[in-house]
Chains A and B, each alone.
Chain A
């Protein structure tokens, strides 16, 4: 079948009479669109494939394409393929648009690109090897030294450092386009930090589900092995260990590429870490896990190198791993890509690649760079300034979308301002002709329509760089637009690399990971967050319940309006929320509503329910991979409840009903949360830390509140009726009234109340029950080795506390002299409860130190 005919049948929108090397115009209806048709430029084999794709997508009926498009969108959403839009509010996640019409690259094209890009990575690597050593390249004036020395990404603290196998660029990516002659040119080099690979993987995944018939007959190079091959690739650069451990270092959830970090880490089977998850000890880098410190051999960094070590790099950043550079210096850890490669973001240096290639390899560069003018060169600057409208000006190394100025779209004033900026700091700018993007068919409202598209390819660096047969095609969202950046609303499509009849070397033996990375224990940061989620959830719940009971008992006993009568209860609330016991006596609260507002909704009160829930949610957010989505949804709902309520302060007009309604809703959602967590969370380490947090907090509240209510100073006369009411209220505050009544058929007496709240293991809120739950979780978390005699082990502390609480004879505390028990809590009991509270607090610290913060006394032995 003659290819020309195929094309014209296949893509009437893109039809061409002469096939190649002629800039396309799409007729009067599309005056703005110019550029080459990729389909028209395709070789015979690719053209056949394009024709078939077109047929498969359109021929079953015009609605088929729409169906596939809709299905793709759903899949993208379900997969959570997100990207943050720069112009959008921070950290809002957007679903990336997906277009089902794939790009096709035939074997010959791929072969050309592969050889060119592999060479490019070799040249870049040679440049870094030399630059961070003797700098022959600068001594010989191949690259002007000012370009390097004035770039903040030139890392002076990396000069002279040896990296394994002299490899600096472990992973690279390149953006490609085609120039006016149809030649491939590189428009961007990413040799420091690369993004996009998971989007390429998702594109294949989505297309294969949305239009499986398309892929059935296609003879494509497989892409799904990328994550495992990347892991194997990185492990090769570890030094001195047969079982290297790799982590992916991410800046965290606020980074625009966080989706990529988390999904890549998951697919590679390596921990996704942030700087604070790692610690340096004796020039070795460790990951903090709940099981102890795991030595780390390779850090695949997805953060800018200036943020990997806050001490070694200049600047105010607190991010990173303090001291990591000492490990790099000693060669105990490999950073990929090596520190210093960020300089590769400098577009002016990239413009010197042809010279660098000749200097290092005596070979001409196979793939040219886009024609780029460097404004620091007076002649080139003059050319740019003289004809600014024809250029796209870019910052020399910023890769954000607001560091690009398309002169064609700017008004005269903006243009003058840009001209002045270039004149002032010419070294900061480069200029290029408008990006020569090619056109590809994309699904539009009425069939297929041309959209500008760019190509990104991914390379594994090394002695012999390998271009992985995976590429990302990004396309503009609208006709005529040349904006393909995902950050500005561009979409993605699948990229097919055809298996060649011998033109492309067969892929290396299929990636079989000989020894998959041993599963590391739960990271300490995640465990810490779960621990605190448990604590904040319990705090929010306790605070609400205590406040509600206080309000209720006051309403129920209008006779006892003397503030003094309720003092112990208010003091209990103050203790439970971390205030001084006199807080409510001295605080300037005029009305009931003010107190409720303060306790429940005040953003300035760090112990308010609202703030507890905010922190609960924040902790859940940073551990979202470890929290079931159902649980996250309830936490989110709880936050919404409080956030919405806080919009209107609690005041007179609402009165008590609104407060009570809010309290009830909070308690209901908290109960839902408990149930939802119990039903959905795996009973693994995540569950145990959530449990530990809840029970530590609950035991503490029970102890503090009990003590405060029991504690009555001798000089304060409290009516007997009030005392009874207080005990009654205490039981209600701790939700134990029902339990008390079923066990004791008497009015609450101090001893009964204390024995129930502290020593009754059957009562979920008793201190003993909590301690037993803590002990059980600690045993599960720690494994057999925690049973060893270890004075600092929280398990040991917990066991001691448990037996003490269980076996303390309350009689001796209530009547130390053996005489008839006094109804007033004696000093002995008070002292004992105070000590108990202090020891529970210490237990919480020990749990943190032992499993989470990794104090050296745990590791050095």
Chain B
């Protein structure tokens, strides 16, 4: 599928900031299953944008604004093609213990994705889920799917219930949150069970609203946020497979990956610091439009979730 994505982040300061510095992780990554044909980042006020690749291979841009500015607007525009992919899990016929055994040779490379991190912590609730769903003898693929579904069913998606700093422990307590929380929790459970898991930040194309004739009624709405987060599991074949517990599905063609990390703190779309102002308001607009290409039928969609500061896509 071909997507055109426009992602606008706007910071408005209570009084003009005298200087600010930001780090952006907005460019979708290139991988076997997705290709970025075009990407541009526009910053207002206009300044030079520098870029580098971080430890996890993510594309990072940095923006330094050393003069008074009342607001900062970052617009990232890209065209991405995602490819369909086979369900590699179907062919994995082994237990969790066997699967764990198979990656023993890559323990060093996978270490970061097996250990707790700042947000992904191991505690009682996590261990309980790990014992229940991923005991050593359980079948690898089916158990992971069951865990994915279990989280979807027992936890409530509610924007605003949590924020970017919410840990797994807190999420388990309040039992409601956003996609980041779902992802973090499932990562914790997998890691606690010895299965390498990593955090994915990205976009998702939400379902189009359909008319009676089955044709989409709407084109994409500006103001919707379609930022999304999910996770990947390292399979015995040596592949990373995406799970989306917020939607009770596997990562598919309508998921677009931006970057990966141990947890959210490794790949926030934007983080920065400003001086000279006490407060800021943030608004985010993401529009994911499916483009007509030579083969695919045309359709477009987007979500219309509230434009709350930390709001994520809502299923």
> C-beta contact mask, A309-330 vs B, less than 8 Å → 1, else 0?
0111010001000110010011
Is A481 part of the contact surface with B, judged by Cβ < 8 Å? no
Q: Which residues of A contact B18 (CB under 8 A)?
A: 849, 853, 855
What CA separation (Å) do A855 and B69 show in the bound complex?
A: 10
- Nearest A residue to B67, CB-CB: A856
Q: How large is the interface on A (under 10, 10 to 19, 20 to 34, 35 or more residues)?
A: 20 to 34
Q: Which residues of B contact A323 (CB under 8 A)?
A: 21, 62, 64
A146 → B minimal CB distance (Å) = 7
Q: A279 CA to B65 CA in the complex, in Å?
A: 10
Complex contact B272–A311 (CB within 8 A): yes
Give residues of chain B (1-49) contacting chain A, Cβ–Cβ below 8 Å.
18-23, 48
The docked-state distance in angstroms from the alpha carbon of A857 to that of B118 is 40
One digit per residue, 1 when the CB lies within 8 angstroms of any chain A CB and 0 when it does not, for chain B 184-217 equals 0000000000000000000000000000000000
CB-based contact B272/A322 at 8 Å: yes
A857 partner residues in chain B, CB cutoff 8 A = 67
Closest residue of B by beta carbon distance from A152:
B118
Asked whether A854 lies within 8 Å of B111 as measured between CB atoms, the reply is no
Does B54 have its Cβ within 8 Å of any Cβ on chain A? yes
Given contacts A139-B108, A311-B23, A311-B273, contact A280 B64 (CB under 8 A): yes
Residue pair B273, A281 in contact (C-beta under 8 Å): no
Encode B112-143 as 1/0 by CB contact (under 8 A) with A: 10010010000000000000000000000000
Question: Is B292 in contact with chain A by the CB < 8 A criterion?
Answer: no
Chain B, Cβ-Cβ closest to A283? B50
Minimum CB distance partner of B274 in chain A: A322
Verify A856–B108 contact, CB threshold 8 A: no
Q: Is A224 an interface residue (CB 8 A)?
A: no
Question: Bound complex: CA of A110 vs CA of B98, how far in Å?
Answer: 58
- Closest Cβ of chain A to B31, distance in Å, is 20
The CA of A133 and the CA of B129, in the complex, are separated in Å by: 38
Chain B residues near A150: list those with CB within 8 A. Answer: 115
Q: Which residues of A contact B62 (CB under 8 A)?
A: 311, 323, 326
Contacts of A329 in B (CB 8 A): 52
Q: Does B160 contact A (CB under 8 A)?
A: no
A853 touches B273 (CB 8 A): no
Partner of B66, one of A139, A156, A281, A318: A281
Mask, A141-174, CB within 8 Å of B = 1, is 0000110011000001101000000000000000
Verify A282–B64 contact, CB threshold 8 A: yes
Residues of A within 8 A of B265 (CB): 314
Whether, in the assembled complex, A138 has its beta carbon less than 8 Å from a beta carbon of chain B, the answer is: yes
B55 at the interface (CB under 8 A from A): yes
Assess whether B276 is interfacial by the CB under 8 Å rule: yes
Measured CB to CB, the nearest residue on chain B to A279 is: B66
Q: In the complex, what's the smallest C-beta–C-beta distance from B264 to chain A, in angstroms?
A: 11
Give a binary string over A833-861; 1 marks a CB under 8 Å from any B CB, 0 the rest.
00000000000000001000111110100
* B83 adjacent to chain A (CB < 8 Å): no
* Max count, chain A CB within 10 A of own CB: residue among B50, B67, B68: B67
Given A138-B108, A854-B66: A318 and B273 interface contact (C-beta under 8 Å): yes
8 nearest CB pairs, A to B: A322-B21, A856-B67, A156-B55, A323-B21, A145-B108, A855-B67, A856-B66, A322-B273
Mark A residues whose CB is within 8 Å of B: 138-139, 145-146, 149-150, 156-157, 159, 276, 279-283, 310-312, 314, 318, 322-323, 326, 329-330, 849, 853-857, 859
Interface residues of B (CB under 8 A from A): 18-23, 48, 50, 52, 54-56, 62, 64-68, 107-108, 111-112, 115, 118, 265-266, 271-273, 275-276
Can you spell out 15 A-B residue pairs with CB atoms less than 8 angstroms apart?
Answer: A149-B115, A150-B115, A156-B55, A157-B55, A276-B275, A282-B64, A318-B273, A322-B64, A326-B50, A326-B52, A330-B50, A853-B18, A853-B19, A854-B66, A855-B66
